[in-house]
Amino acid sequence: MSAAAIRMSVLQTRQPQQKRATAYTLVKDMKWILLVLNVLAVVPIFQVVHAYKIALPKKHSFASLYPTLLRLFCFIGALMYFYMVFSPFAKISIFIYSELDNATIALELLLGPLSGVIILWKSERKSKNFITIINLLLGVDKELQRHSHAPRALENKCAHLERYMWMPLVHVVAVCILQWLHVRKCTSYLYCLSMYFFYMLLHAIIISYVVWVATLLHLLAVRFRYLNEFIQIYTTRQGARLNAVNMRSTASETFTADMLLFYREHNNLLTIHRKLNDFVHITLLVFIAYFSYTSALSMYQVYLTLTKLDVNNIRGILWCLIYLCVYVPIVALLMRHSDVATKEANAMSHAVARIYGRDKAQQHLIDKFLTFSVKQDAEFTAFGFFPINMPTLFNISSAIIAYVVILIQFKQLEETRAGASA
């Protein structure tokens, strides 16, 4: 037996021993994330059909009725919350903390639950889309991992995302402690408890939804990176010689077959990327708008309350800091994972361009792939208005800071004029 045949035999016997990424391992890696999403009805409860497929449960079962009932409860609660915000009691329980006018605070308090309602509405209308996206990812896993030249076992590595699912709990506990110190001033305990319950529930839905989108982008980035590492076996002289020897054994492992595999799976991943963007672009646009508006008001509120320190103003500062400490890491997580997924998707053309030592026919295939890749640059956007990436986060932060500085300057100008007229 030749050395090449022995090498291929050893490679094929070792491959099944690797722990492959399947639907079971994916659910296991995301078990805590999925638990929170299922409890909040952001993602429908699904079941694993086989190693590379998941499906929705049967109709009229508890798993299928629970998300519908919880969403209906949240919609009714949102309507009650909107009524409470504009009720006469709201001035006592909400606006006592603020140095801003009531209309500004009411708009701020309405935008957050409105984002939660839009998320629930989109989740109800397109609950099957998440299942489709996961099944498409599992289909890519199956094709990549069964190839004899697979570089390593595919790992999801979702552990670092699980700690962000604690953010809703941190937000709830912080708001409960802050409101417990103030609940004695409420005219009605039932009114205060119900209003803040729905407020925290809708914000928990918003936070978990953004973390879920970031998780899907992370899974996409992992697979784009895995495919790019797959291509690297052809990008060095040593790899080119090794594969030239190995590929003489069977016709199915030729360079052309591998390039077709790269092209097909890269196109599948780009399709998943576009489907995910089409599903979440409206909700992310509303969320980022809410985050920008509320962050600017929170920073401005902190400045105003620092000039007039008393018990109520300290609570107002704490309220603003709670919001910023919870939402800034969530937005940074979304922007970072979207940026990484986009860069990994666009990096494949650079990896293919470095393929070494090919004849004219194979080079022609590489050129066709590069021409196609130039026309399909991946980009994750908020309804097409702006890309969701780290430069956008920097631009949003700069705009918020500039807006707050302008508000402070106008405030100081008003105080100067009032002092001069007095």
Residue 304: the pLDDT is 82
Confidence of residue 6 (pLDDT cuts 50, 70, 90): very low
Query: Model confidence over 299-317: pLDDT tens digits?
Result: 888 888 787 766 566 777 8
269, 140 Cβ separation under 8 angstroms: yes
The pTM assigned to this predicted structure is 0.86
Rounded distance, CA 337 to CA 215, Å? 8
Query: Model confidence over 157-199: pLDDT tens digits?
Result: 898 998 998 888 888 888 777 766 654 556 666 777 777 788 8
Rounded distance, CA 193 to CA 231, Å? 57
57, 99 Cβ separation under 8 angstroms: no
Rounded distance, CA 240 to CA 233, Å? 7
Mean pLDDT calculated for residue range 60-65: 82
174, 167 Cβ separation under 8 angstroms: no
Residue 59: the pLDDT is 78
The count of other CB atoms within 10 Å of the CB of residue 353 is: 13
Question: CB under 8 Å to 329, separation ≥6 — which residues?
Answer: 164, 167
Signed CA dihedral, 358, 364, 366, 367: sign only:
positive
Residue 334: the pLDDT is 95
pLDDT at 368 over 80: no
351, 228 Cβ separation under 8 angstroms: yes
The count of other CB atoms within 10 Å of the CB of residue 59 is: 7
Residue 112: the pLDDT is 80
The count of other CB atoms within 10 Å of the CB of residue 318 is: 18
The count of other CB atoms within 10 Å of the CB of residue 107 is: 14
Between these two residues, 248 and 15, which has the higher pLDDT value?
248
Mean pLDDT calculated for residue range 141-162: 82
The token duo for 168 is 């809703």
pLDDT at 21 over 80: yes
pLDDT at 61 over 90: no
Whose CA is closest to 298, among 108, 110, 168? 108
The token duo for 408 is 């402070």
Query: Model confidence over 269-297: pLDDT tens digits?
Result: 999 999 999 999 999 999 999 999 889 98
Whose CA is closest to 36, among 278, 215, 176? 215
Confidence of residue 102 (pLDDT cuts 50, 70, 90): low
Rounded distance, CA 322 to CA 117, Å? 22
Query: Model confidence over 307-364: pLDDT tens digits?
Result: 776 656 677 788 888 889 999 999 999 999 999 999 998 888 777 776 755 666 667 6
Instruction: With both helix axes pointing from N to C terminus, report the angle between 255-306 and 189-231 in degrees, rounded to the nearest 10.
Output: 150
Confidence of residue 399 (pLDDT cuts 50, 70, 90): very high
Between these two residues, 63 and 314, which has the higher pLDDT value?
63
Whose CA is closest to 151, among 65, 87, 242? 242
Bridge partners for 54 per DSSP: 48
Residue 13: the pLDDT is 38
